Amino acid sequence: MNDKVFDLTYVMVSESSKCSDLMDLVPRPIAIGQSPIRYLTKQARSLILRRLKQREQHYAVCVSTAALRMKIKFQMAISGI
């Protein structure tokens, strides 16, 4: 691993972290027949808990999107371009 690849890996993890932080704000689907008030209360509580937890994992969609977006940059860095 050369310095460029290491720097790109850091950038990719940083972008994935930003994406995962935003994904925590997305409400989860409502269950059929569930009370809207109860749903909103549960979503608000879940959102607060997701924001308070320590970030140890990233959403898979965020990692794969960041990796695909940077694929060409990684290939260029590996080949020394």
Per-residue pLDDT tens digits for 30-71: 878 888 888 888 888 888 887 777 767 788 899 899 999 999
Q: What are the start-end ranges of the E strands in the chain?
A: none
Q: What is the pLDDT of residues 8-22, one digit of tens each?
A: 999 998 999 899 888
- How many domains is the chain built from? 1
User: Could you tell me if 11 and 58 are in contact, meaning their C-beta atoms sit under 8 angstroms apart?
Assistant: no
Three-class SS state of 28: coil
Is pTM beyond 0.85? Reply is no
Q: Which domain holds residue 28?
A: 3-79
State the sign of the Cα–Cα–Cα–Cα dihedral 58, 59, 60, 64: negative
At residue 2, what is the residue type?
Answer: N
Measured distance CA(25)–CA(47) in Å, rounded: 6
Q: Does the pLDDT value for residue 3 go beyond 80?
A: yes
The reported pLDDT for the residue numbered 48 is: 81
